[in-house]
Structure 1
Amino acid sequence: MDCISVNEIIRATQGKLLKGDYEDLVLDICIDSRKAKNGEVYIALIGERFDGHDFILDAYEKGVKTFIIDSNHTLTLDEEGINIIQVSDTSKALMDIAKYYREKFSIHYVGVTGSTGKTTTKDMIHSVLSSKYNTLKNEGNLNNQVGLPLTIFKLSKEHEAAVLEMGMSSFGEIKSLADIVHHKVAVISNIGYSHIENLGSKDGILKAKLEIASNFTKENTLIINGDDKYLKKIKDVNYKVKTFGFESENDIYCTRYDMDENGTNFEVSLYDKQYEFFVPSRGKHNIYNAMASILVALELDLSIEEIRNGLLNYKSSKMRLDIVKKGNITIINDAYNASPDSMKAALEILGEYKENRKIAVLGDMLEMGEYAIEGHRLVGTFAKGKCDIIITVGKDSRHIGVKAIEDGLGSENVFHFDTNEEAIDLIKNIIREKDVVLVKGSRGMRMEKIAQVLL
């Protein structure tokens, strides 16, 4: 982060300086007192289970001299050189400072959201843009009202572009992130079941995702999955819309593909011309992600050759369809999260191993609300012909196996357990040479524990 002054912070937040010097500089933003450093400003955020004001002294002892507190708290530090800024809401202050800081950098900004695949799409766009621009992206899951501002603060004068994933669990959250970033281009990967418990329906999810274009004008471009029946509803808007998919009506569409252990070769039709690309990752869903990346890159003036090079350099994030060989056994570690759509994508990859025995170890998909049984049964339908053995873990995941049996998978090949430990015991007993094992479930299921045993 480039340094900013106390006065700039006050202007950005509409805060009040209770004590200190307007001209003092801060070197970075801190929200965790355990990581506090000299020269930073500590923002006392308040969460469901913590109050950052309780840790101000910890931050002070680590060298912090500037503090942002809310109007319901007081802070008494008599030492010289202390700056105390009071705001109405410290969480809003974090976002306000990020918005102010972002405006210092006139670079290419890209926003990315979607029910599933948004992290992979973000990573792939980042890889492509990095072939031409020094590009920043969110790391890990830093895609919310805290994580995205912290990513913005990593911007420096060396950056030429930023790809920013925007997550949400309810209405208004993506709008608040879009207000910070003011991106020129945005991508919506798809509309699925994720967070349907909070948003009520897929139409509700579509409405929430479209907040990413809430500040768009005719100068902006929204790039969407044109095969998605909900995204197809986007019409008569005041900004440009470009589409990707496998259907020929899209601006870019895949005409042919083949996969091997190294990745995916695919051919696309783009504005009546044919182009070939390779991405070092398997799965039809990654062709969708690559096509989204291609359209973003063209919007930002990359050449086809630069795009090819960027796709070649793509590396998937850990626990996101991470395919690892352990001896003669193949583990597909996709334990980071799960929804019906991402389950389908993972099962399709598992199904590609035609010559191997295929084991799907699947945990609960959380936050499904009243759609829980329907969503898990849908996965049972997807599993038909894709796996030889299904092992489910948790509560609602049992409906995956029930549906798979109804669709013809022998009951002797379907197992359900309440805990990961029980599933691990079975896997150890049945696993054999050349098996391919998919491990997937929602974040809260901690399915990586199973993958770690296999690895």
Structure 2
Amino acid sequence: MLFTIKWLSNLFPEYKGPISDAPIDNVITDSRLETENALFIPIIGERFDGHQFVYQALEHGAKAVFWDKKKELPEHFPDHISLFFVDDTTEALQLLAMKYREEINPKVIGVTGSNGKTTTKDLVASVVKSSYICHYTKGNLNNHIGLPLTILSMPRDTDVLVVEMGMNHFGEIEALSRIAKPDYGIITNIGESHIEFLGSREGIAKAKLEITAGMKKDGLLIVDGDEPLLLHEQTGLEKMTCGYGKECDYQIREVHLSIHGTRFTVSRGGEFSIPLAGRHHAKNALFAIAVAEKLGISSTEIKDSLASMENTGMRFEMLKGKNGVSIINDAYNASPTSVKGAIETVKQLAGYEERVLVLGDILELGSHAEEMHASIAEVIEKPITAVLTYGEKAKLISESVKKNRRDILCKHFDTKEALLHELPAYFHENAVILFKASRKLQFETFIESII
């Protein structure tokens, strides 16, 4: 049980229908979900109105409903359903999440950044749940709807809540931070994601630092110590840095990569390993190590948990394809920084004769799009053997490489079918293929065809 209908009535005093100690076990915004004892909150979007699906929600087990006061009630609405009238259903969802979080009062860890949010969240949760009852964001439910739903799926005995915070515009992280009230805030890095809306890397840093807006006064901010834009901002909070630089509080000193993962040593704590390949993933793990030590988790527990962590899909996911080809599925999303990081990792993997990059468009770059796509070519060099691109802007990558690297095969494809037809040439045990593009290009369809 999350709470009772009577508890809800104290928070939302305008209602009709029965008010009792009947339990609410789930809070949902999707009427298609079959759940018992649910509170259904109909969200109004640009192209949909959840109020239209209230009967479907009731059929699937909803026992209570929020209702926008401005909307007419359907005729013959069931008398046995508890109906709460609110000014705005999205704001009511957020208020409910805030009040429920206050009641449970877990330690809260908030994770944001341009790249690596979901992986860092997974690493943090993996370590924390070794010693505490931990609830955390599933997938990447990290926006103004997803974060409240994450809080409202938290069991009452939760000790630590780990939430991911995403955004496209100024003010969004601040709103999420005020709902979650983090004890610990993590900023993984500052890249170029959403530069179309935020104007510059300085603007992106400002937006990410909004995580401090709702943090507790005695909270700890943990940031990328290799990013100057995060080092000099005065937030009034204790700050800790993680990275490769000598000035970092937690410094990575040695890194060893393989197709199976990354082994690295840290200035505090010795050697660690994670089942994710990449120097950037070592830094993501460093955030988990830092916050875990603050929570009093032992070094042994931290090392064991990191070594066995489970990663959210399509984020540098290692797979085997046809004829034993190694596949790196990093197709969930992309920014110039994350694409370059993934390419650097492929270059460092040992044991492959062919290293193939399948790259697509990077979205939300605005007027910077052409320049930033072309900049990807700066890190494409031997031992990369082939670059295959798809997408209007991705063509700039293969064209830029072709101008400067005649020893690397470069091909651009106007259709997915044509690119897919090219791939079997690389289906053998001595090849590794990286798939990387923004989410809307759905590069996972390539991978589904070849594994």
TM-score clears 0.5: yes
What count of residue pairs does the alignment treat as equivalent? 448
> What is the CA–CA distance in structure 1 between the aligned matches of 2:2 and 2:113, rounded to whole Å?
34
1:421 counterpart = 2:437: no
Aligned equivalent of 2:431:
435
When structure 1 is superposed on structure 2, of 374-383 and 56-65 the one drifting more is: 56-65
Give the C-alpha shift of residue 378 in structure 1. Answer: 1.6
2:27–2:153 Cα contact (<8 Å) kept = no
> What is the CA–CA distance in structure 2 between the aligned matches of 1:385 and 1:108, rounded to whole Å?
47
Q: 2:273 aligns with which of 278, 300, 310?
A: 278
When structure 1 is superposed on structure 2, of 261-270 and 196-205 the one drifting more is: 261-270
1:348–1:386 Cα contact (<8 Å) kept = no
Give the C-alpha shift of residue 261 in structure 1. Answer: 3.4
> What is the CA–CA distance in structure 2 between the aligned matches of 1:451 and 1:284, rounded to whole Å?
24
Superposed CA offset, 1:200-244 (max 9, x none): 11111111111111133551100001101322232x331100001
1:96 counterpart = 2:95: yes
Where structure 1 has 5 or more consecutive residues not aligned to the other structure, the ranges are none
Paired letter, 1:451:
I
Aligned equivalent of 1:69:
67
SS of alignment partner, residue 304 of structure 2: helix
Give the C-alpha shift of residue 441 in structure 1. Answer: 0.6
When structure 1 is superposed on structure 2, of 19-28 and 254-263 the one drifting more is: 19-28
2:277–2:345 Cα contact (<8 Å) kept = yes
Aligned equivalent of 2:116:
117
1:351–1:358 Cα contact (<8 Å) kept = yes
Aligned equivalent of 1:403:
400
Where structure 2 has 5 or more consecutive residues not aligned to the other structure, the ranges are none
Aligned equivalent of 1:357:
354
Aligned equivalent of 1:389:
386
SS of alignment partner, residue 154 of structure 2: coil
User: In the superposition, relative to structure 1, how do residues 83 and 390 fare at CA in structure 2: closer, same or farther (>3 Å)?
Assistant: same
Give the C-alpha shift of residue 277 in structure 1. Answer: 1.5
Give the C-alpha shift of residue 321 in structure 1. Answer: 0.5
When structure 1 is superposed on structure 2, of 213-222 and 189-198 the one drifting more is: 213-222
Superposed CA offset, 1:9-33 (max 9, x none): 3444x55214443655433212111
Paired letter, 1:262:
H
User: In the superposition, relative to structure 1, how do residues 409 and 140 fare at CA in structure 2: closer, same or farther (>3 Å)?
Assistant: farther
RMSD: 1.9
TM-score (normalised: structure 1): 0.93
Q: 1:372 aligns with which of 351, 369, 374?
A: 369
When structure 1 is superposed on structure 2, of 432-441 and 41-50 the one drifting more is: 432-441
Paired letter, 1:195:
H
When structure 1 is superposed on structure 2, of 374-383 and 188-197 the one drifting more is: 374-383
Superposed CA offset, 1:33-89 (max 9, x none): 111434212111101111011111222233433211112202143533222211111
User: In the superposition, relative to structure 1, how do residues 168 and 15 fare at CA in structure 2: closer, same or farther (>3 Å)?
Assistant: farther
Aligned equivalent of 1:335:
331
Structure 1 runs of 4+ with >6 Å offset: none
When structure 1 is superposed on structure 2, of 69-78 and 98-107 the one drifting more is: 69-78
TM-score (normalised: structure 2): 0.94
Aligned equivalent of 2:209:
210
1:307 counterpart = 2:302: yes
SS of alignment partner, residue 210 of structure 1: helix
Aligned equivalent of 1:132:
131
> What is the CA–CA distance in structure 1 between the aligned matches of 2:271 and 2:182, rounded to whole Å?
29
Give the C-alpha shift of residue 178 in structure 1. Answer: 1.1
1:420–1:449 Cα contact (<8 Å) kept = no
SS of alignment partner, residue 223 of structure 2: strand
Aligned equivalent of 1:39:
37
